Amino acid sequence: MFGFLLRRVGLVIPTFIGVSLVAFFFIRLLPGDPILLMAGERGLSPERYAELLTRFGFDRPIWEQYLGYLGALVQGDFGTSIVTKKPVMDEFFALFPATVELSICAILFAVVLGIPAGVIAAVKRGSGFDHGLMATALVGYSMPIFWWALLLIIVFSGILQWTPVSGRISLLYFFPSVTGFMLIDSLISGQKGAFASAASHLILPTIVLGTIPLAVIARQTRSAMLEVLSEDYIRTARAKGLSPFRVVGVHALRNALIPVVTTIGLQVGTLIAGAILTETIFSWPGIGKWMVDSIFRRDYPSVQGGLVLIAVMVMIVNLIVDMLYGLINPKIRYTR
């Protein structure tokens, strides 16, 4: 187990360098630069432009800029935003909890609904429920996030007025951020109704962000279950008189979960992509929205630093998922 962990961490280093390279050159490949965007319609004289290039260090050879950036990264310096003039690391960690909170809720929503739905569909294969679920999953998977979010807002916040439109908590509540997780902070604050307000603000974004993972997980669970249910040991389990619940819930599900857990791990990437749109619509102050803003402003340090930090987080999650395999299925050993 320890050796496995060490090897995996060893793999992180080349991945990290690769990500830093991609992040660095990706943003520079986009046309336009931050200085021009800041000047806007007015434009600026060639002399002034050259002066600002020097000031930002953009006039140096590109490899030199990259090495400087990499050197700083190794020392844990992610640079300073050229727009807000604040350290990228500070900005990232101020916003990251909001994204994590939303992502955890979305993935829980997807797992809690998706796995049982997939199991039932597999057990009742060919039934109306099965067909209905698969059709719904296909629709959910194909749902454009922007449209889906606006539809939910108009129906639930606009017409029915059940949920708030956007934001993380009602503006009536004002307390310092302790953990950055609104659900926890609202409890700590001790203000009456704060937790309920934070929870109600999570409902729609959770549904929107969780829809695609939900569809994927339900389908994956169903097909994995179908495969396992046809195995000999399931027939044996049935033959020896175990209750249907025990056959499905313990013998079958535990084996079917392995590919499902892999799928959930892979959904982390999807979640980050989905978070960009979800956060933008629901005015959710997370890293997705921040990345979009930074790309539009060509804020090189923020985009570079943000992408590297996101990549590191995804790597950590994947590592955790790999470790989980062992817990679900002891057959997997982490030694060679």
At 169, is the secondary structure helix, strand, or coil? coil
Q: Binding to another protein (CB under 8 A): which residues in 28-57?
A: 30-45, 48, 52, 55-56
How far apart (Å, rounded) are the C-alpha atoms in residues 172 and 33? 40
Burial of 241 (0-12, 13-18, 19+ CB in 10 A): exposed
Q: Smallest gap, in angstroms, from Cβ of residue 274 to another protein?
A: 16
CA 139 to chain centre: 21
Instruction: Determine the angle formed by the axes of helices 182-189 and 88-123, rounding to 10 degrees.
Output: 110
At 100, is the secondary structure helix, strand, or coil? helix
Q: Smallest gap, in angstroms, from Cβ of residue 316 to another protein?
A: 23
The interface region with another protein, picked from 16-24, 113-121, 242-250, 282-290 by CB under 8 A, is 282-290
Q: Smallest gap, in angstroms, from Cβ of residue 137 to another protein?
A: 27
Q: Choose which of 290, 291, 295, 308 interacts with another protein (CB under 8 A).
A: 290
Q: Choose which of 281, 291, 295, 303 interacts with another protein (CB under 8 A).
A: 281
Give yes or no for a contact between 58 and 32, defined as CB atoms under 8 angstroms apart: no
How far apart (Å, rounded) are the C-alpha atoms in residues 54 and 310? 29
Burial of 211 (0-12, 13-18, 19+ CB in 10 A): buried
Should residue 298 be labelled a site residue for another protein when binding is judged by CB under 8 A? yes
Which residue's entry shows tokens 């939303």? 102
The interface region with another protein, picked from 154-162, 205-213, 220-228, 237-245 by CB under 8 A, is 154-162
Q: Choose which of 171, 190, 232, 239 interacts with another protein (CB under 8 A).
A: 171
Instruction: Determine the angle formed by the axes of helices 253-281 and 194-229, rounding to 10 degrees.
Output: 140
Should residue 93 be labelled a site residue for another protein when binding is judged by CB under 8 A? no
Q: What is the 3-state secondary structure (H, E, C) of 248-273?
A: HHHHHHHHHHHHHHHHHHHHHHHHHH
Question: At 12, which helix (H) or strand (E)?
Answer: helix 2-29
Q: Choose which of 128, 161, 232, 241 interacts with another protein (CB under 8 A).
A: 161
Q: Smallest gap, in angstroms, from Cβ of residue 84 to another protein?
A: 6
Q: Which is nearer to another protein, 51 or 231 (CB)?
A: 51
How far apart (Å, rounded) are the C-alpha atoms in residues 303 and 98? 18
Should residue 184 be labelled a site residue for another protein when binding is judged by CB under 8 A? no
Should residue 325 be labelled a site residue for another protein when binding is judged by CB under 8 A? no
Q: Choose which of 79, 97, 164, 301 interacts with another protein (CB under 8 A).
A: 164
Should residue 91 be labelled a site residue for another protein when binding is judged by CB under 8 A? yes
Which residue's entry shows tokens 């029915």? 160
Site string for another protein, 61-90 (x = CB under 8 A): ---------------------xxxxx----
Angle CA 270–275–277, to nearest 5: 110
Q: Which is nearer to another protein, 46 or 241 (CB)?
A: 46
The interface region with another protein, picked from 12-20, 134-142, 158-166, 315-323 by CB under 8 A, is 158-166
Q: Smallest gap, in angstroms, from Cβ of residue 282 to another protein?
A: 7
Give yes or no for a contact between 81 and 297, defined as CB atoms under 8 angstroms apart: no
Q: Which is nearer to another protein, 293 or 322 (CB)?
A: 293
Q: Which is nearer to another protein, 105 or 169 (CB)?
A: 169
Tokens of 16: 């990290």
Which residue's entry shows tokens 């987080």? 313
Instruction: Tell me which residues touch another protein (CB under 8 A).
Output: 30-45, 48, 52, 55-56, 82-86, 91, 94-95, 150, 153-154, 157-158, 161, 164-168, 171-172, 174, 177, 280-283, 285-286, 289-290, 293, 298
